[in-house]
Structure 1
């Protein structure tokens, strides 16, 4: 048997369609139900479905009143507050195209995005770094829009552009990934295939409002089925999350593996009386961390695999827990294959490249302004993820690693080329290579290796990179070598760098 999972296609996305309208479709039926609680140890700020829908549709009306028109792009430079999802959905409600971005980006990094996107406006918190743009809509203006008469939903072709997210590429230049309105329709396959989510659940996500993992799993998916989303307020210490989860009766908890690791540190038991299970994504979950969570909480932890180009499509779930070290299985409705070098499915059990069928409703429209790069990812009927895996007889997929040099820092994919380009101009550096190092079981960090006449100050190197790279892209350690490993053609061998990392190094 070949490594192909195909149990039938999902129902087609209806037309006309609007992503934001779909997310808030329960607002009229349950107007007083709490849609969102922003959590703190001593209480919460609560948003009913009616209040949330009014804020979103009022924002949409306000953006149109500013002269913006459907199809135009908006760069979002807002902080970790409820303003972010309201503006995000408000833009899509009227057919505008928001681009969520990390607050950690520097002004020079946003300038590259402005050049790439040519946005009609920037939604801006003045405290968030951003390069200059002639049309900036300030946070205070956005807040005032919420009370305007609600906009009409911009209904249209589900294939039209809805939003753009950035992911780093092997070229070192972050790529703009364009998604259609239908992307939210595809996420219904996660409800049973990963979450086990019901309208009665209270799903808490530990991430920031402006992270795409939070926007999808933590907010839009619960709202789509009429559940309650719980988000800890900005600045909440991870060590306080167990008490917050218990106090606010969270039934499902979602986070990146690093958050679970810190929650468990120094604890033999976590009392989470309402929690049914946890969800993990953003980076690979180590078997040891998985085991610790189960032993400490008495609840299961379900992992998902995905990417910016297609969100998550392989996962374990309450109905189908992962077996052993496997990731899980493709969600019902997905068509997944493991392909060999000839772009054909390999026999079950053999390794190959994880691929998703090009017809998947969650797959991106393409990379913005990069048709050749978009086409290069499609091989016949399949979109190649660039990651390796093996499929068992029952469809379970084991993740075998990336087949490129991409790094993962706290759930963000980071290109080593981008890190190397930022560090290379520093005086005293002749050559630089960056890679991801597992410094202890389940903990991976970015390390920069460099050659030059003599070792350089790590403090000064870190200070040099601070204004040039977002925090999550910055190396946590620097290693001086006489020469960096290279192949016969003189090309840097990044994968060989790991062998040069000193085991006694303290990161």
Structure 2
């Protein structure tokens, strides 16, 4: 990946075109296209717990048998399957099996509460729910399977690469999680990350610190390594961040991927020697420069960061071949067409504007659950950035009030809605606040006649919100600030809270 071929007069970076996706196509068949040839090579190793290894042969066999078992449930092509599965290898197996069989997986987080899972079920109306003990079940009439069904293997259902493949949910500015529809071609678009971000080869041992049921892990930690024939390492349930360095060393990880919060926890104590490690990867939230420097000092390796979103995964990044310049997020990956817009028009280089992705990007979503892509050449995000004449992207924040909790995007409106009916609470505002350098948590500022017991507020949040959405601080205020238009001003709350720490 290099600079734009011509000096830019406007912030439009055309680094394409991408290689066209083959047709007919099936995402799962593509991911497992090397499985037969690789045979007994390790595809997946769960580390830090009871030994658990899946070879490529075993992975292919299990996926095709579960695909056959799902179709034996009298499901029809295009039926939707809601996941209420825990942090186990069953999650990616079920995901690939659904895709293989022409079904539509909905890989929802295991942390969702019953009301949250019910809302997703109501929006998607699944034909089947896959459920494991300890994970919430929605209030929905769909039949429930508590084990993955198996039957004789079936062939993959091939078809148009532009057809619907899967649905994921992301927090939206409306306060209600939004369903994002992706096509089978989305996995083909991820090839642009292999060298544009990962520096990934078939010989790599990619260790991802996330859970099986997190979309960051599902893509970067599983689907992409398997697509190229590499080995992936996933920590067992309950492994602490402090143990990850030793596990990466013991299992010869060559690439390590995590959210910034995990790196921060790992660096609280000295790391072991990591002779096989080539570099780290970070996504989910902004990586502080101090954290990057500390990692480099301790390991002698770099962390390459990527910027993306649920609607298009990661599309701007630094890489081993072209590290990001200081204080930037990197450049658009090979094959991407990116613009910086104001009022729908490209701005000059180094001018702030909204980041936009060309609608022909093969990784761009088909649309939201209830709406197709808007008309026009560009899909405009809520991220404010500037772009240099060479294509370097500087991230400047969001133009809304979205929060980031451990790599998950969380809408303040969703958190606030959970407290709308709380007795004695007359108003509330959720925002992310910095409690120490480079560490943010979700805080709920609220008004009430007198302060409310924090344990009562926490228990209420636990009943309605996934753990990563729950406020960590509850702060009583006499009033909540509003702007001239009468709208809540969360920025003033955040600034007032953080000011004493300046």
**What interval of TM-score do these two structures reach, taking the shorter chain for normalisation?**
over 0.9
Residue 86 of structure 2 corresponds to which residue in structure 1? 79
**Aligned residue-pair number:** 493
For residues 21-420 of structure 1, the aligned pairs below 5 Å read 21-40=29-48, 44-140=51-147, 142=148, 145=150, 148-267=151-270, 269-340=271-342, 342-371=343-372, 374-375=373-374, 380-420=376-416
Shift of 1:23: 0.2
| SS at structure 1 position matched to 2:430 | strand
Shift of 1:488: 2.2
- Deviation track 1:426-481 (CA, whole Å, cap 9, x = no partner) reads 12211111111121122111111111211112121111111111110011001111
CA distance in 2, matches of 1:221, 1:426: 44
Shift of 1:359: 0.4
- Deviation track 1:100-138 (CA, whole Å, cap 9, x = no partner) reads 011110111111111110110101113211123444343
Shift of 1:31: 1.0
The 1:87/1:289 distance shift into structure 2, 3 A limit, reads: same
CA distance in 2, matches of 1:397, 1:132: 44
Residue 3 of structure 2 corresponds to which residue in structure 1? none
Contact residue 433 and residue 498 of structure 2 kept, 8 A: no
Contact residue 255 and residue 280 of structure 2 kept, 8 A: yes
| SS at structure 2 position matched to 1:149 | coil
Unaligned runs of 5+ in 2: 1-8
Residue 419 of structure 2 corresponds to which residue in structure 1? 423
- Deviation track 1:369-409 (CA, whole Å, cap 9, x = no partner) reads 234xx42xx6x311111101111122110100000111111
Contact residue 221 and residue 257 of structure 2 kept, 8 A: yes
Contact residue 249 and residue 274 of structure 2 kept, 8 A: yes
Residue 442 of structure 1 corresponds to which residue in structure 2? 438
Unaligned runs of 5+ in 1: none
1:467 aligns with 2:456: no
CA distance in 2, matches of 1:441, 1:337: 32
Tell me how large the CA RMSD over aligned residues is.
1.4
Residue 495 of structure 2 corresponds to which residue in structure 1? 499
Comparing 194-203 with 112-121, greater Cα deviation is found at: 112-121
CA distance in 2, matches of 1:502, 1:344: 36
CA distance in 2, matches of 1:489, 1:339: 26
CA distance in 2, matches of 1:504, 1:352: 31
Contact residue 435 and residue 498 of structure 2 kept, 8 A: no
Residue 13 of structure 1 corresponds to which residue in structure 2? 21
| SS at structure 2 position matched to 1:356 | strand
CA distance in 1, matches of 2:104, 2:175: 25
Residue 5 of structure 2 corresponds to which residue in structure 1? none
Please report the TM-score for the alignment, with normalisation by the length of structure 2. 0.96
Contact residue 15 and residue 333 of structure 2 kept, 8 A: no
| SS at structure 2 position matched to 1:439 | strand
Shift of 1:218: 0.2
Shift of 1:183: 0.2
Residue 6 of structure 2 corresponds to which residue in structure 1? none
Contact residue 405 and residue 415 of structure 1 kept, 8 A: yes
Shift of 1:415: 0.7
| SS at structure 1 position matched to 2:35 | coil
Shift of 1:4: 1.2
Shift of 1:205: 0.3
CA distance in 1, matches of 2:266, 2:307: 22
Shift of 1:490: 2.0
Shift of 1:8: 2.0
